[in-house]
Amino acid sequence: MGTPVLWLLPFVALLLSIAILPLVVPGRWSRPGFQAIVAGLAALPVVVGRPENLGRVAHDYVAFVMLLGSLYVVASGIRVTGDIPAHPATNTGLLLLGGLLASIIGTIGASVFLIQIVLEVNSERKNVSHTVLFFILVVSNVGGCLTPLGNPPLFLGYLAGVPLFWTLRLVEEWALAIGLLLGVYYLIERREHARESPVALLADETTRRPIRVTGRWNFLLLAGVVAATALLDSPFREAVYLACAAASFPLTPRGQREKVGFSWHPILEVAILFAGIFVAMEPALVVLRERAPTLGLTRPWHFFWAAGSLSALLDNAPTYAAFFAVARGLGRPEVAGVPAKILEAISVGAVFFGGLTYIGNAPNFLVRSIAVSRGVAMPSFFGYAARAAAVLLPLFLLLTLIFFRG
């Protein structure tokens, strides 16, 4: 007799809470204590009724949160100042740089680091929200598909046995998506640049300050996090994460984190919610593995759209884990127990679709909050989703036809 399907309920309830409560009770949801109550209520049935696997769950959770936390802390110790003319080619180049960095220092690291210079360069312009939107698509999501460091779901795959450099085989999907997104952005940016007032354009052209980077020791610490992920096993890997994060504080100039708007809230929110997610999803993953043959998901495009759609509406890391478990139930254990082409579809779907909403991936809301704090008028939740869908859905259809129609 298999695991009762009722064990899916705590996991589903938590994911729905993450999607709905920020819209229904935004004031309460922003409080860590309220988030801890929600996560704790979802985890409680599993802690009481199925405690046998909690040791392994705790191990994976600590590794996951320490990687994200160390990248966040270290990247926030780097401050970029300066101003150059915000021409369309300049902004497109900055987004390309972010798309390259995202797989090296993670989407969180690249987002925290580069959004500063993007907003600084565009500080004299009025039409900036489209640049932030494409920044989220390129830097905070699509750019991070080439390594487990790049995006949280891929790190979960690494913890589950996917080889460290396996995701480099996604370079064709990455290159096509990055190229098309930047091409669309450049056309839109040319139009928006032409719509700027003469006063704004004059200020942008005449206000020039050399680009300066402070807190440069943090680049070495970022390299330490990357090296630890590639070369070390637990617990030495996590020890290096902790050491790099701790060393970032004395090596960062005093007061610099406040100037870049550093706050513990984003990473605390991730830590709290994912504590509940990791616990609640354990029996749910067992149910999915046992019932995989009956779900009708057998082809790569099934997994691409199923994993992707839920990643956009919920959160891409647990969604990846759920469909990873489903794929393991199909047989053909080519990569960590999963058919290789289906694992590609799950990986690309979870990473790329995360850009469809503000809640699809952790850096999305972080970038939005930083932009709003700098006076950029960002679209609402549904306004952003509509704009992102107009750009991304044609891209996803093209990816399906080229890579996942089998």
Total length of the chain: 406
Give the rounded percent of residues in the chain with a pLDDT score beyond 70. Answer: 97
Classify 338 as helix, strand or coil: strand
Residue 16 CB neighbour total at 10 angstroms = 12
pLDDT at 170: 96
Q: What average pLDDT does the segment 4-29 reach?
A: 82
| CB neighbour class for 42 (10 Å; exposed up to 12, middle 13-18, buried from 19) | buried
Peptide bond connecting 51 to the previous residue in cis, omega within 30 degrees of 0: no
String of b and e for 321-332 (b: at least 16 CB within 10 Å)?
bbbbbbbbbbee
Residue 49, both tokens: 């009724």
Residues 322, 297: Cα–Cα separation, whole Å: 13
Our measurement of the distance from residue 273's CA atom to the centroid of its chain's CA atoms, rounded to an integer in Å, reads 15
- Per-residue pLDDT tens digits for 102-112: 998 888 888 88
Amino acid making up residue 136: I
Give the rounded percent of residues in the chain with a pLDDT score beyond 90. Answer: 35
- Per the model's pLDDT, the better-predicted residue between 22 and 280 turns out to be 280
The answer, yes or no, to whether residue 374 has pLDDT greater than 90, is no
- Per-residue pLDDT tens digits for 122-147: 888 888 999 999 999 999 999 999 99
Residue with tokens 């996803």: 396
Residue 104 CB neighbour total at 10 angstroms = 17
Residues with Cβ < 8 Å from 294, sequence gap 6 or more? none
Residues with Cβ < 8 Å from 149, sequence gap 6 or more? 67, 71, 103, 104, 105, 106, 155, 225, 226, 229
The answer, yes or no, to whether residue 1 has pLDDT greater than 60, is no
Residues 93, 170: Cα–Cα separation, whole Å: 22
The answer, yes or no, to whether residue 398 has pLDDT greater than 80, is yes
pLDDT at 289: 67
Cβ contact 343:387 at 8 Å: no
Residue 174: closest CA among 93, 100, 68: 100
- Per-residue pLDDT tens digits for 278-327: 898 888 777 766 776 677 888 999 999 989 988 887 667 777 888 888 88
pLDDT at 264: 84
Residue 353: closest CA among 329, 320, 401: 320
Residue 302: closest CA among 257, 356, 353, 349: 349
